[in-house]
A and B are shown apart, each in its own frame.
Chain A
Amino acid sequence: MTLRKSVEVLTGNYAVAYGVKLARAEIIAAYPITPQTSIVEKLSEFIENGEMEAEYIRVESEHSAMAACIGAASAGARAFTATSSHGLLYMAEMVFWAGYSRLPIVMAVVTRTLAPPWNIWSEHTDIFSLRDAGWIIFMCEDNQEVLDTVIQAYKIAEDPRVQLPVMLGLDAFTLSHVASPVELPSQEEVDSFLPPPGATPRSFTMDVEHPISHSSIVDPDTTFQFRYLMKEAMEEAKEVIREVDKAYSRLTGRRYGGLAEEYRCSDAELILVVAGAAAGDAKEAADMLRDEGIKAGVLKIRALRPFPVEEARRVASSVKALLTFDREYSFGSGGVIAHEVKASLYGFHKQPLVDSYIVGLGGSEITSRHFMEAARRSLEKVERGILKPGEVWLLPPEVKLGGVPW
């Protein structure tokens, strides 16, 4: 390996900030919350010392942060915010407003557990709970992907076929505060990939030459029509995400598979389906399982929205079992990825076993061992001919299930 000048040791949060700077965002509006704060601290530092030409709007809440981004994006500016956990839910009303307004805002969500009990560590319930807000949602595996996804996010959000906001999730601490080498593309490289702010025509921004009315009351059928257009845009986004990933790889040599990355899936008998930082641990587990003679692969869910239905079907067509891993839970229903995968496969000709594993809630550690244990359990089921889908909560061995913890 040769040392490249553009490689820096960055935390996930700093990788976000460098990405936003390289993407030439013009408006930053954010309210601090652990573990997001160092993203906007770094951005304010860039602006303060003249490295970045942007307006930093200080707001009194996350709700106002998103409202400010909506205002900025409505006027055609490139806007960014970041939040986490309670901040995201406090912002929720405006998150839907941004999605339904079709504004290409980009937001980083440092995924953090919702309280109570009070907890600052990673869980995906915060970001997954806003999956119906009309935003494209990415989950990142490592700090390099975080930086690259921020840059890609603006390209996707502003594509005339899409015009939807994008949020990207990075695991609290596991990515946000972990430092690792990140290759920074040059400003020239990013400029050649991402047009300058305002260069791409938008249908939903304010324009004095072509005035349109915003957010006024309309009849039900017009609203219905708007929703249909959003659905169409979200479908279009699938191809745009794949195209942008390819174009970005021509620029940097790095590819993430578009909506989902398939790792050692082509000859796999069993596939681990996972989103977020633990995807790396899952890949290590797949390698170790193969050393034991179990042909394992990983389907990394990069886009939760739009969901990679086609990719899930493709990998399912030749395997005995799909194992989903959810770091969040929909009470009364189950793991979100488990549902999405099952829904993707319904009516499809090949139906492998789909087992759901619940892992890492409240920031509980996820290791390669979790994936290996799950693989052995599900394979044993398959060998015994049991194809009924199951749900297993993989807690650390020292934690007992059931009863109160005191």
Chain B
Amino acid sequence: MGVVTAAELLVNAALREGFYGQSIPMFGPERRGAPVVVFARVSDRPIRLHSRVEHPNIVVVFDHRLANFIDVTKGFKGDLFLINAPSLSELPKDLKAFRLASVDATEIAVKLKLVVAGWPVVNTAMLGALAKASGLVSLNSVVSAIKERWPGRIGELNAEAARRAYQEVLVEVAS
């Protein structure tokens, strides 16, 4: 699951910068292509909560089509909404109230041939975009976390995906 791994990598990257972190995957009827939710906390002090995140500061959506049938802004506090989409014009209108960021992570993954069983693997690109749009962690830490997870060529490719997304992500200020 790309999104679960992404959250673990985010915690790893946060740890490298002296923060504490926690990734909480939501398990249920797993099947390929079904929507998967994961929560992550990053803090400058140890995290004692184990409950899910009810009011996220940041929402990251790995596929813009999800926004058409899932309430992706439930409980959202509205600091940053990052989405994998070809362009912001594809998004439902009610999202425009938030600070939006978009990146075409699918295209980045396809170009780098990061495709598994026909599914573009967008998680590492999304992490690169998140690093840029949120400033939560540096690109360096993201790249280090990725390379620790996958030494060798796979790690290089994923690190490149993160770098490209870091450069390409578009951040808009809400009108």
Where the two chains meet, the residues of A that have a C-beta atom closer than 8 Å to any C-beta of B are 1-3, 7, 9, 35, 120, 142, 171, 173-175, 177-181, 277-278, 280-281, 283-284, 365-368
* Cβ of B50 under 8 Å from chain A: yes
A231 to chain B, nearest CB (A): 35
Pick from B15, B48, B52, B54: contact of A3, CB below 8 A: B15
Please, how many angstroms separate the alpha-carbon atoms of A368 and B53 in the complex? Answer: 12
B51 pairs with A365, CB closer than 8 A: yes
Which residues on the B side are within 8 Å of A277 (C-beta)? 50
Residues of B within 8 A of A1 (CB): 18-19, 44
Q: Mark B69-97, 1 if CB is under 8 A from A, else 0.
A: 00000000000000000000000000000
Inter-chain contact B15/A174, CB cutoff 8 Å = no
Question: Which residues of B have CB within 8 Å of A365?
Answer: 51-52
A367 touches B51 (CB 8 A): yes
**Residue from A3, A35, A179 within 8 A of B11 (CB atoms):** A179
User: Which residue numbers of B lie inside 8 Å of A, CB to CB?
Assistant: 7-8, 11-12, 15-16, 18-25, 27, 44, 47-52, 54
Q: Are A180 and B27 in contact (CB under 8 A)?
A: no
Contact residues in B for A367 (Cβ distance below 8 Å): 51, 54
**Which of B22, B25, B47, B51 contacts A368, CB < 8 Å?**
B51
Alpha-carbon distance between A382 and B23 when the two chains are bound, in angstroms? 39
Closest to A369 in B: B51
Q: Which residues of B contact A142 (CB under 8 A)?
A: 48, 50
* Pairwise interchain contact A283-B48, C-beta atoms closer than 8 A: yes
Known contacts being A9-B12, A179-B11, A180-B11, is A368 close to B23, with CB within 8 Å? no
- Docked Cα-Cα span, A35 to B16, in Å, equals 29
Would you give the shortest CB distance from B1 to chain A, in whole angstroms? 11
Alpha-carbon distance A278/B52, docked complex (angstroms): 12
Q: A142-B48, A178-B25, A179-B8 are in contact. List 6 more A-B contacts (CB 8 A).
A: A3-B15, A9-B23, A174-B24, A177-B25, A278-B50, A366-B50
Residues of A within 8 A of B21 (CB): 9, 180-181
Considering the chains assembled together, what is the distance between the CA atoms of A181 and B19 in angstroms?
10
User: Are A9 and B15 neighbours in the complex by a CB distance under 8 Å?
Assistant: yes
Min CB–CB distance B26 → chain A (angstroms)? 8
Q: How far is the CA of A3 from the CA of B14 in the complex (A)?
A: 11
A3 CA / B15 CA spacing, docked (Å): 7
Residues from chain A with Cβ under 8 Å of B52 in the complex: 365
**B20 contacts across to A, CB distance below 8 A:** 180-181
- Collect the chain A residues with CB atoms within 8 Å of residue B8's CB: 9, 179
Shortest beta-carbon distance from A213 to chain B in Å:
48
| In the complex, residue of chain A having the shortest beta-carbon distance to the beta carbon of B47 | A180
Q: With the chains together, A367 CA to B16 CA distance in Å?
A: 29
Task: Give bound CA distance, A281 to B27, whole Å.
Answer: 20
Q: A9-B11, A179-B11, A180-B11 are in contact. Are A174 and B18 (CB under 8 A)?
A: no
**Which of A3, A9, A35, A280 is B50 in contact with, Cβ under 8 Å?**
A280
Query: Within the complex, which residue of B15, B24, B44 is in contact with A7, where a contact is CB–CB below 8 Å?
Result: B15
Query: Are A181 and B11 touching (Cβ within 8 A)?
Result: yes
Assess whether A177 is in contact with B48, with CB atoms less than 8 Å apart. no
* Contact for B49 among A9, A173, A179, A368, CB less than 8 A: A368
Q: Is B49 in contact with A178, judged by CB distance below 8 angstroms?
A: no
Q: Please give me the residue from chain B that is nearest to A278 by CB atom.
A: B50
